[in-house]
Amino acid sequence: MVESKDVRSLPRRWVFWVTNLIILFMVLLDLAVYLRLFRLHIAFENFYIHHWFTIAGTSFIALYTPIYYFLKRRGFQNTGGLLILHVLGNITAAGLISVHVTQELIRSPQSYPELGTGLVLIFTMIILVATGYLLRFRSLGWAKQLRWLHTAATLSFYLIIVIHALHGIELL
């Protein structure tokens, strides 16, 4: 039997399963950090390891998303490969960011962070991941109507991450 390349057939394809495995791994890692079984609050250079995770994740999203958008609109031949990298890369990046958030949330009451922009940012990431997941692996007709929310969350992510980073380095 020849497998259709239609999006609705993706649950039978490897991208769906790899995406779900990445999500499961990141949830388990978050849980291990939350339960203090795994510690990432270790200084490396100027930042803690969990800060490097979030810098890597945010950098990937911030750089690859416009590249993906531009190449897709310019008729790049391998849009399927671009989409696979977009899905797997962004889900991994969001997972790295979630590890940072989890590490911040378990800090002691004396050094608990101000949640302001970070809280807005994590809710934006949840919306991005949820809408992206539904758009990519949907089997429901109404899921495509979420594209506007996915785009709005992407634009919000860019604005909030700049403000969050400036606040983090105490320029705001």
Phi, psi of 43 (to 5 degrees): -70, 135
User: Is 94 within 8 Å of 125 (Cβ atoms)?
Assistant: yes
Phi/psi zone of residue 170: left (φ > 0), alpha (ψ -120 to 50 degrees), beta?
left
Give the pLDDT confidence score for residue 51 in this predicted structure: 81
> Could you tell me the sign of the dihedral formed by the alpha carbons of 162, 54, 51, 107, in that order?
positive
Long-range contacts of 133-137 (CB under 8 A, 24+ apart): 133/19, 133/91, 136/7, 136/10, 136/19, 136/83, 136/87, 137/7, 137/10, 137/11, 137/16, 137/19
The whole-number average pLDDT for the span 28-55 is: 84
> Which uninterrupted H or E stretch holds 44?
strand 43-44
pTM above 0.95? no
Give the pLDDT confidence score for residue 107 in this predicted structure: 74
Query: Domain segments of the chain: what residues?
Result: 49-147
Give the pLDDT confidence score for residue 7 in this predicted structure: 53
Give the pLDDT confidence score for residue 4 in this predicted structure: 45
Interval 43-97: pLDDT, tens: 788 887 888 888 899 899 989 989 988 888 887 777 778 888 999 999 999 999 9
Give the pLDDT confidence score for residue 2 in this predicted structure: 42
pLDDT band, very low/low/confident/very high, at 23 (cuts 50, 70, 90): very high
Give the pLDDT confidence score for residue 122 in this predicted structure: 85
Interval 6-21: pLDDT, tens: 555 544 588 888 999 9
Instruction: Kindly state the greatest CA–CA separation across the chain.
Output: 61
Interval 100-159: pLDDT, tens: 888 878 777 766 666 677 788 888 989 999 998 888 887 666 767 888 898 899 999 889
User: Is 95 within 8 Å of 121 (Cβ atoms)?
Assistant: no
Give the pLDDT confidence score for residue 1 in this predicted structure: 40
